Structure 1
Amino acid sequence: MTSTEKQDAQHGEFRKFLPDLDTPRFHAIAKNDAYGHAKELLEHHRPPWLYGLYVHWRKLFEEPFKGVTNDGTVRPSLFPIRDEGIPIASIVAAAHAITSQLSPAQAAKTTLHIDSPEWRTWSNPEFLLSDKGIRLESLTPPLRTSVLALLEATLSPEGYAKALAAMRINHFLGELVNAPRVMNEHSYNFVLFGTPAVDKPWGFSFYGHHLCLSVFLYKTQIVVSPWFTGAEPNCIDEGPWKGTRILHEEERLGLLLMQSLGEGEREKARTYVKMKDEKMPKGRWNHDDQRHLCGAYRDNRVVPYEGVVVASLGAEQRELVRKILGQYLLYLPEKSRELKLEDCEEWFGETYFSWIGGYADDDPFYYRIQSPVVIVEFDHHSGVFLANSEPAKFHIHTLLRTPNAGDYGFALRRQIGASVAQEYVWEG
């Protein structure tokens, strides 16, 4: 059996864990649309564990943005303003095609200030916790097409294909659990920050269940961070999109890297043996993020370095790290991706690879690659809609953060603001 066939067999096991839809939980979600489903959480506090997490998230949101760090101190001068070659004129034209179709009411909800704190109110559960912007499923077909055209103009071709695949897998899950009005191909919100222009900073957020993208643009430079991409299951085995799957390369390359390490290196990389280990300190695991540290609302989290230093590894292992990071930077257009990969390589002396779980072919696992300029996380999850109580390879969460205030283009916005202020003083 080839590795691809083995992966397909593992991921196809999700059919053993299809839930009992004849339960109150699934009766409730089947009768609701996204707004009714959110009301269950926000007004009726169901489910209680997620409502508690939501309350905690809102407290975190009240903190001024600082950025993820490894020790609580933001390191300056890591992210230069530069030419990354993105087709900004085409992207701006695609954005104007959206704004020209918005009604006054839609525009009021959709176009926010460039420095709005609402950049940070994305989240990956299916509950619509932040109803800003426009929602694809509620739009006219021309306007919905225009939003997707902006995504296509902004992302790399392979990144756009990955985003579409995540949306289609979300639709597939909605069909599996009889919740098509809550989880479907178009159950995503879109919001603009700033005014689209070729020479001024602006951006947008596109978010919903298992796909959240924060995109900042300035001239020919782009930041896609933070982003979250997940799938439950991570493959479609029937219907018009049969054969669609995502996140398998991140899985394959991560496992290959761990298995290629020497015994001493593996021991150093492996921070916990079990996926939910009794040695984990309080807060290291939670019901929603499980092993993830840098998910929604964790904009200011302190994440200490742990694991093995990438620069200490052999050439083969360093190349695997580069390939993994290439997958995590896939949303970026090619030139921007290559420049950011070069940034990452420059910091391999302070880049750490860490692992949780087993590393046999069939084992579920978590890994993180962390440096001053990037954090990526991969996690096999237990079931949320499917009934597997233990982490399984068919339910995957991945995310990327740019630490040291790089998220949401914040570090660049500070520089742009300072530059504008200097020009104003000089002209004055």
Structure 2
Amino acid sequence: MAEPGIYTRFRSAGLFAAVLAVGLPNCGAQAPARAQGASVADTSALAATARTFLSTLNDRQRADALFPFDHPERTRWVYVPERRTGIPLQAMDAGQRAAAFEFLGTGLSERGTGLARGVIELEGILRDLEGGSPWGLQRDPELYHLSLFTGPGGPYPWGWSFEGHHLSVNVTDLGPHGQIVAPLFMGAAPARVPSGPRQGTRLLAAEEDLAFELLHMLDPAQTARATIAAQTFGEILTRSVPVVGPMAFAGLPAADMTAAQQRQLRRLLELYAGRMADSAASRQLQRIEQAGFERLHFAWAGAHQPREPHYYRIHGPTVLVEYDNTQDNANHIHTVWRDLENDFGGDLLRRHYARQPHRE
């Protein structure tokens, strides 16, 4: 990966002032409560939290944290251990970290923020379990990076990401159109902590348990339709591509489920949407309903019992949720929410540019 400094960056105090005044909406310096709606006031509140975080940074830290909106890093996301751009937690003092997690809470719900903290905690547990092995030496709960992306043509659009091993939160703020929180990746390794003070901890237990409950609610004919492969694929199929390409629907459609099975599918879908801030989750679920809940497909691969490799996905016209638990003897979970129309802003961003003139 390229060194962080090779692209044009916001490095001078004058440019930083311009970012505060123009690149993000002018909305005051006080940290707001969590945003809950899609109004201009709510999106301004999100920007206020960003400005509050930026105000805690020195010039060098701001240079590391800020990028132009069209920077290639905005749509590059990965969930494996590797070098990243942005400002890492290890470069922040206690106050800056608190402001960074307050900022994270504008894109994630309380549960989502708790999961993000849990992913970071698991990184330290994984380091202890793997010891001095080559993999263990790469585990570092301090290497989670925050990046902000600001545009030159007005307050919107802007965006940010918070990313490290097994965590990638990508947010695009489109003002009155609200924010898109996608792609949103969370993983857990170990999925079940095998030893130590946190023995037995399962960070993503609900994501596994609710899915098995749904699978076991199906009758034999439905189970046969839902099962798309006897073995898993070893990973989520979409990996970390910026845009998900066309994918055929497979598995059991919600239209062919009973009312009780559909309710369970909703519970599972809402569990994933509930990682986002309330306003973003509500819009996602509304779009799924408008596109037709009955068009969602539930697909399964691998074992039909826990602690053996298994995979599932929920796929509809607007959404793709993937879950895989294959690696490390089925003790290593990857999950992702993809907005098939609006990852990184997508169609909404294109419409915004078409309607709003922007300076070069």
Counterpart residue identity of residue 65, structure 2: T
1:72-87 maps to which residues of 2 (within 5 A)?
A: 84=38, 87=42
Give, in angstroms, the shift of residue 214 of structure 1. 0.6
Q: TM-score scaled by structure 2? A: 0.80
Are 1:112 and 2:67 matched, yes or no? Answer: yes
> Over residues 184-229 of structure 1, what are the superposed CA-to-partner deviations in whole Å (9 max), with x where a residue is unaligned?
3322111111169995221111111111111112236121111211
Of 265, 272, 276, which aligns to 2:229? 272
> Over residues 284-322 of structure 1, what are the superposed CA-to-partner deviations in whole Å (9 max), with x where a residue is unaligned?
x4xxxx231122135243322111211221111111111
Are 1:415 and 2:351 matched, yes or no? Answer: yes
Of 144, 151, 154, which aligns to 2:107? 154
Higher relative contact order (CA 8 A, sep 6+): 1
Tell whether the 8 Å contact from 1:216 to 1:223 is kept in structure 2 after alignment. yes
Tell whether the 8 Å contact from 2:231 to 2:309 is kept in structure 1 after alignment. no
Give the equivalent residue in structure 2 for 1:229.
Answer: 186
Of 165, 169, 175, which aligns to 2:118? 165
Give, in angstroms, the shift of residue 231 of structure 1. 1.0
Are 1:402 and 2:339 matched, yes or no? Answer: yes
Are 1:211 and 2:155 matched, yes or no? Answer: no
Give the equivalent residue in structure 2 for 1:377.
Answer: 322
Tell whether the 8 Å contact from 2:75 to 2:242 is kept in structure 1 after alignment. no
Query: In terms of mean alpha carbon deviation, does 265-274 or 192-201 score higher?
Result: 192-201
Of 276, 280, 283, which aligns to 1:339? 283
| Whole-Å separation in 1 of the counterparts to 2:96 and 2:154 | 22
Give, in angstroms, the shift of residue 112 of structure 1. 1.5
Give the equivalent residue in structure 2 for 1:79.
Answer: none
Aligned residues: 321
Are 1:310 and 2:254 matched, yes or no? Answer: yes
| Whole-Å separation in 2 of the counterparts to 1:91 and 1:235 | 35
Give the equivalent residue in structure 1 for 2:300.
Answer: 355
| Whole-Å separation in 1 of the counterparts to 2:354 and 2:153 | 19
| Whole-Å separation in 2 of the counterparts to 1:192 and 1:356 | 37
Give the equivalent residue in structure 2 for 1:364.
Answer: 309
**SS of residue paired to 2:50:** helix
**SS of residue paired to 1:166:** helix
Tell whether the 8 Å contact from 1:111 to 1:195 is kept in structure 2 after alignment. no
Counterpart residue identity of residue 127, structure 1: E
Q: State the percentage of identical aligned residues.
A: 28
Are 1:190 and 2:146 matched, yes or no? Answer: yes
**SS of residue paired to 2:145:** strand
> Over residues 308-359 of structure 1, what are the superposed CA-to-partner deviations in whole Å (9 max), with x where a residue is unaligned?
2112211111111111111111222224323322322332232211110121
Give, in angstroms, the shift of residue 122 of structure 1. 1.7
Q: 1:150 to 1:352 in 2, by over 3 A?
A: same
**SS of residue paired to 2:231:** coil
Q: 1:196 to 1:255 in 2, by over 3 A?
A: farther
| Whole-Å separation in 1 of the counterparts to 2:338 and 2:239 | 9
> Over residues 27-68 of structure 1, what are the superposed CA-to-partner deviations in whole Å (9 max), with x where a residue is unaligned?
xxxxxxxx9xx99xxxxxxxxxxxxxxxxxxxxxxxxxxxxx
Give the equivalent residue in structure 1 for 2:90.
Answer: 137
Tell whether the 8 Å contact from 2:107 to 2:181 is kept in structure 1 after alignment. no
Counterpart residue identity of residue 148, structure 1: F
**SS of residue paired to 1:153:** coil
Give, in angstroms, the shift of residue 141 of structure 1. 2.7
Specify every segment of 5 or more residues in structure 1 that has no aligned partner in the other structure, as ranges: 1-34, 40-82, 276-284
| Whole-Å separation in 2 of the counterparts to 1:212 and 1:402 | 14
Q: 1:217 to 1:196 in 2, by over 3 A?
A: farther
**SS of residue paired to 2:276:** coil
Counterpart residue identity of residue 188, structure 1: Y
> Over residues 118-166 of structure 1, what are the superposed CA-to-partner deviations in whole Å (9 max), with x where a residue is unaligned?
12222111122xx311111122332222212211233211111111111
| Whole-Å separation in 2 of the counterparts to 1:121 and 1:293 | 17
| Whole-Å separation in 1 of the counterparts to 2:305 and 2:105 | 38
Give the equivalent residue in structure 2 for 1:54.
Answer: none
| Whole-Å separation in 1 of the counterparts to 2:284 and 2:239 | 21
Counterpart residue identity of residue 295, structure 2: E
Give the equivalent residue in structure 1 for 2:15.
Answer: none
Tell whether the 8 Å contact from 2:77 to 2:168 is kept in structure 1 after alignment. yes
Give, in angstroms, the shift of residue 107 of structure 1. 2.8
Tell whether the 8 Å contact from 1:381 to 1:397 is kept in structure 2 after alignment. no
| Whole-Å separation in 2 of the counterparts to 1:195 and 1:244 | 42
1:3-82 maps to which residues of 2 (within 5 A)?
A: none
Give the equivalent residue in structure 2 for 1:329.
Answer: 273
| Whole-Å separation in 1 of the counterparts to 2:107 and 2:306 | 36
| Whole-Å separation in 1 of the counterparts to 2:242 and 2:160 | 19
> Over residues 250-304 of structure 1, what are the superposed CA-to-partner deviations in whole Å (9 max), with x where a residue is unaligned?
11111111111122111111111123xxxxxxxxx4xxxx231122135243322
Query: In terms of mean alpha carbon deviation, does 220-229 or 340-349 score higher?
Result: 340-349
**SS of residue paired to 1:109:** helix
Tell whether the 8 Å contact from 1:89 to 1:198 is kept in structure 2 after alignment. no
| Whole-Å separation in 2 of the counterparts to 1:418 and 1:232 | 43
Superposition RMSD on alpha carbons, in Å?
A: 3.0
Give the equivalent residue in structure 2 for 1:69.
Answer: none
Tell whether the 8 Å contact from 1:196 to 1:202 is kept in structure 2 after alignment. no
Give, in angstroms, the shift of residue 239 of structure 1. 6.2
Q: 1:240 to 1:382 in 2, by over 3 A?
A: closer
